Amino acid sequence: MRRLPIALAGALLVAVVVPAVASAHATLGSTSPATQSRVETAPREVRLRFDQAVTIVPRSIEVFAADGRLVSGPVVAADRGREMVTRLQQLDRGAYTVRWRELSADGHIGSGVYTFGVGVPAPPPTEAVGASGMTWKDDVARWAAFVALAALLGPLVLWLVLLRSVDPGPRARKAFYATAAVASFAVIDVGILAFILRSSNALQLGFLDMLYGDLSPFAEKTRFGIAFLVMTVGFGVVALFALLAWVLDRPGLLWVTLGLGSLLASGWSLSGHQATEPNSSALTELADWVHLVAGSVWLGGVFGLAVIVWPLARDARRDAFLRFARLAVVLIGLVVLAGTYMAVVRLPDLSDLWTTSYGRILLVKVGVVGLALAWGAFHHLVVRPRLERGEMPRVAGRTLLGESAVAMAVLVLAAVLVNGSPPAPETPASGAVPAIQAGR
Amino acid sequence: MEPRPEIAHWWFASIFLLLGLILLAEVIVGPTVFGRRPWRRYLWPATALASGVLLWLVAALSTFSMLHLIAHSIWAQAAMIAGAVELAVVRGLLRRPAWSLVTAGMLAVSGASFLVHEQNGWLFSRSAFLHHAIGWVLVAAALFPIGKAIRPRLAIWSTGFAVTVIVVAVLLYTDRDVAPIFGHLSEFAGESK
């Protein structure tokens, strides 16, 4: 049995030392002008080089100016089919979008989009000509991601921090392990869905073409793409520790799941408004992360109390509830403090709250958070004293579920806010910085 | 720096070969002798679990197409879930033979992912042939854990499973990204490298 850690470590080493990528059809190797590059001299042609021969199809390369004008000509093959080339009209200073399609060597239609700038910085691919903005699908994906993160962090804090001196019993232990593993995978899966949706807004492809759509410019050239890559691999490790904790029955391993999961959540903070807006700073990024993690632990903790502790750990109910009530005060304080700071930065004028759509959504969110706080106050003022007297109010299980439902509503509004655009801050006329969309 | 696609397949072929040899060794010497050193019983589930973590890395590098990103993500999760459940069986956490059905399900899902992500015919190119072959072999391999769930004491299930894993390893070793198969190469497949 002593060899088990060695066997696991050896197997993990195998996983770490052999990074590789697998593919079976043509992929875009290089482009000229380069993806998301700024060139000072107007190029005369666009040249795409693939890792194997491709076949030209209608609309193989189309280059658009920022106003939507087509500025490219017919496409020809070069270097025995490995390259596609199109001549360009005389380009003015500005941003340009390249949309391409090819019949790949394995018979699939590959498609992609990228941008470059002549004398100006290239916009991110999410702002390519023809790209659409966020849709309700993006909001749903973001909401699901928040729910998954809350379901991961909240129950773990309940067990590891608040119930560290109390055995919740075998059924609750299993439920905590299962929740951690399922939530870890859910964060990854929802992240993949959100990334694909976000990319599809710019690619604007039909379903079949989207299957072979090239997502690499979004993965490699945008903040949200890089965050996606890091979070995907990172939460794979988070899931590994959640599974190992269950298999070895060592709750201590869940500290890695909790710590790494909280840390990786910063991927959203480092690729959202608080990192990309012109008046962003390290403080706004930190505030966003604190807001996200504290909110997740609060709402996920209520969820954990309602669906794990209350039905499965009767003996731990009282301790869990009373200790969580104390922790919730701290968490809510952090959420309100960080949220207020970010609101002041994003909406410097009070009137922004009712004159901008971002402000109005924020007001609705504050209202729903107020409802959640009122619900929490009921627990604090009515349920907590009865528990302290040794009673076990039967209504608490149902009201906890109700508070969880309100928490879901809070997360819906948080998702809509995150995907929305705050009003651009006023900047001096000289050297004005263009507004940057969140998550670019 | 990313290795060529066939190199990536060979890495995974090596992992599959390792898994297959471990399983075959258990079949040859019998579970009693194999289990004299307890750590041996952890080898294949731990390797499967670890390969799942590796596959997340591959998934993150497979953004050149949506289908490949999804397929690699499915394989990563399937490997981690099957590895973790088999580890739990070895640890005695899960005792019912029916838990083999989880591994069966993961194999079937992985095989289906192989078949769906390869949208060309069998004889389009060598990689297309291999994707079809591996997909169907994995789907067929799901029958062995199902058999083990129903009749746990029969050695044929373990033997068949071990041989199947080795067959998948051989198929992965023979992969080349674009190359003729049986002298045939689709006219769309361009030149072989």
**A209 lies in the same domain as A121:** no
A83 touches chain B (CB under 8 A): no
Helix (H) or strand (E) holding B84: helix B66-91
Number of structural domains (chain B) is 1
Calculate mean pLDDT across residues A139-143.
91
A15 touches chain B (CB under 8 A): yes
Question: Nearest CB to B39: which of A7, A53, A210?
Answer: A7
Question: Nearest CB to A23: which of B5, B15, B87?
Answer: B5
**Residue A258, both tokens:** 């909790």
Residue type, A222: T
Find, in chain A, the residue whose alpha carbon is nearest to that of B58.
A21
Q: What is the mean pLDDT of chain A?
A: 85
In a domain, B189, yes or no: no
In a domain, B187, yes or no: no
pLDDT in tens, chain B (193 residues): 555 667 777 888 998 899 899 999 999 999 899 989 988 899 989 999 999 999 998 898 888 889 989 999 999 999 999 999 999 999 999 989 899 999 999 999 999 999 988 877 788 777 788 889 999 999 999 999 999 999 988 889 999 999 999 999 999 888 766 566 666 666 655 554 4
For residue A40, what pLDDT is reported?
Answer: 92
Q: Please state, in angstroms and rounded to a whole number, the distance separating the CA atoms of residues A311 and A400.
A: 11
In a domain, A22, yes or no: no
**A141 lies in the same domain as A118:** no
Report which of residues A149 and A276 the model is more confident about.
A149
Q: What is the residue range of B133's domain?
A: 5-181
Q: Please state, in angstroms and rounded to a whole number, the distance separating the CA atoms of residues A28 and A33.
A: 13
* Bridge partners, residue A78, by sequence: A83
Instruction: Count how many pairs of residues, chain A against chain B, have C-beta atoms within 8 Å.
Output: 196
In a domain, A12, yes or no: no
**A307 lies in the same domain as A379:** yes
A84 touches chain B (CB under 8 A): no
Does the pLDDT value for residue A429 go beyond 50?
Answer: no
Work out the minimum CA distance from B32 to partner chain A, whole angstroms: 16
CATH of the domain at A53: 2.60.40.1220
> Which residues numbered 65-124 in B keep a CB inside 8 Å of some CB on A?
65-70, 72-73, 76-77, 80, 84, 87-88, 91, 93, 118-120, 124
Work out the minimum CA distance from B145 to partner chain A, whole angstroms: 20
For residue B186, what pLDDT is reported?
Answer: 62
Q: What does the pLDDT look like over A182-222, one tens digit per residue?
A: 999 999 999 999 999 989 888 888 777 888 888 988 888 88
In a domain, A192, yes or no: yes
CATH of the domain at B40: 1.25.40
CA A183 to chain centre: 14
In a domain, A191, yes or no: yes
Q: What does the pLDDT look like over A303-358, one tens digit per residue?
A: 999 899 988 988 888 889 889 988 988 998 999 999 999 988 888 888 888 888 88
pLDDT confidence tier of residue A430, bands split at 50, 70 and 90: very low
Does the pLDDT value for residue A292 go beyond 50?
Answer: yes
ipTM over 0.85: yes
In a domain, A433, yes or no: no
Give me the helices (H) in B92-154, please: 100-117, 126-141, 143-150
**A118 lies in the same domain as A187:** no
For residue A106, what pLDDT is reported?
Answer: 63
In a domain, B153, yes or no: yes
**A344 lies in the same domain as A310:** yes
**A93 lies in the same domain as A152:** no
In a domain, B190, yes or no: no
For residue B178, what pLDDT is reported?
Answer: 59
b or e along A334-347 (b: 16 or more beta carbons within 10 Å of the residue's beta carbon)? bbeebbebbbebbb
**A122 lies in the same domain as A156:** no
Q: What does the pLDDT look like over A43-73, one tens digit per residue?
A: 999 999 987 788 888 889 999 999 999 999 9
Q: What does the pLDDT look like over A249-272, one tens digit per residue?
A: 999 999 999 999 999 999 999 988
Q: What does the pLDDT look like over A22-38, one tens digit per residue?
A: 344 678 888 999 998 99
**A108 lies in the same domain as A220:** no
For residue A363, what pLDDT is reported?
Answer: 87
In a domain, A199, yes or no: yes
Model-level pTM? Answer: 0.85
Max distance between CA atoms of chain A, in angstroms, equals 84
Give me the helices (H) in A277-316, please: 282-304, 310-312
In a domain, A435, yes or no: no
For residue A20, what pLDDT is reported?
Answer: 36
In what side-by-side order are the strands of the sheet with A37-39?
Answer: A37-39, A109-118, A94-103, A61-65
**A186 lies in the same domain as A262:** yes
Domain final residue pick, A59, A92, A127: A127
Give me the helices (H) in A107-252, please: 136-157, 170-203, 207-211, 216-221, 223-248
Calculate mean pLDDT across residues A427-432.
43
- Which residues of chain B make contact with A232, given a CB cutoff of 8 A? 56, 59-60, 73
- Which residues of chain B make contact with A240, given a CB cutoff of 8 A? 49, 52-53, 80
For residue A206, what pLDDT is reported?
Answer: 79
Report which of residues A15 and A242 the model is more confident about.
A242
All residues at 6 or more sequence positions from B191 whose CB lies less than 8 Å from its CB, including other chains: A52, A53, A80, A81, B178
* Bridge partners, residue A38, by sequence: A117
pLDDT confidence tier of residue A229, bands split at 50, 70 and 90: very high
All residues at 6 or more sequence positions from A431 whose CB lies less than 8 Å from its CB, including other chains: none
For B160, the 3-state DSSP assignment is helix
For residue B137, what pLDDT is reported?
Answer: 94
Does the pLDDT value for residue A12 go beyond 60?
Answer: no
- Which residues of chain B make contact with A103, given a CB cutoff of 8 A? 188
**Residue B157, both tokens:** 């299930």
In a domain, B193, yes or no: no
Inspect the interface and report whether the beta carbons of B125 and A214 lie closer than 8 Å. Answer: no
Does the pLDDT value for residue A124 go beyond 90?
Answer: no
Q: Are residues A154 and A183 in contact, defined by beta-carbon separation less than 8 angstroms? A: no
Does the pLDDT value for residue A433 go beyond 50?
Answer: no
Q: Position of tokens 């949309």?
A: A99
For A118, the 3-state DSSP assignment is strand
Inspect the interface and report whether the beta carbons of B5 and A107 lie closer than 8 Å. Answer: no
Does the pLDDT value for residue A13 go beyond 90?
Answer: no
B148 touches chain A (CB under 8 A): no
Q: Lowest-confidence range among A152-156, A284-288, A346-350, B137-141?
A: A346-350
Calculate mean pLDDT across residues A168-173.
91
In a domain, A389, yes or no: yes
For residue A17, what pLDDT is reported?
Answer: 40
Ramachandran quadrant class, A249 (left: phi over 0; alpha: psi -120 to 50; beta: rest): left
In a domain, B192, yes or no: no
Number of structural domains (chain A) is 2
**A100 lies in the same domain as A143:** no
Q: Are residues B160 and B144 in contact, defined by beta-carbon separation less than 8 angstroms? A: yes
Q: What is the residue range of A362's domain?
A: 136-419
The vertex-A150 CA angle with A144 and A151, nearest 5°, equals 85
Helix (H) or strand (E) holding A32: strand A28-32
Q: Please state, in angstroms and rounded to a whole number, the distance separating the CA atoms of residues A90 and A119.
A: 14
For residue A406, what pLDDT is reported?
Answer: 83
In a domain, B147, yes or no: yes
Q: Please state, in angstroms and rounded to a whole number, the distance separating the CA atoms of residues A432 and A435.
A: 9
For residue B181, what pLDDT is reported?
Answer: 63
Other Cβ atoms within 10 Å of A236 Cβ, number: 25
Does the pLDDT value for residue A438 go beyond 50?
Answer: no
For residue A15, what pLDDT is reported?
Answer: 43
In a domain, B186, yes or no: no
**A53 lies in the same domain as A117:** yes
Does the pLDDT value for residue A440 go beyond 80?
Answer: no
> What is the share, in percent, of chain A residues with pLDDT greater than 70?
90
Cα distances (angstroms) measured from residue A162 to each of A157, A319, A326: 7, 8, 10
**A303 lies in the same domain as A397:** yes
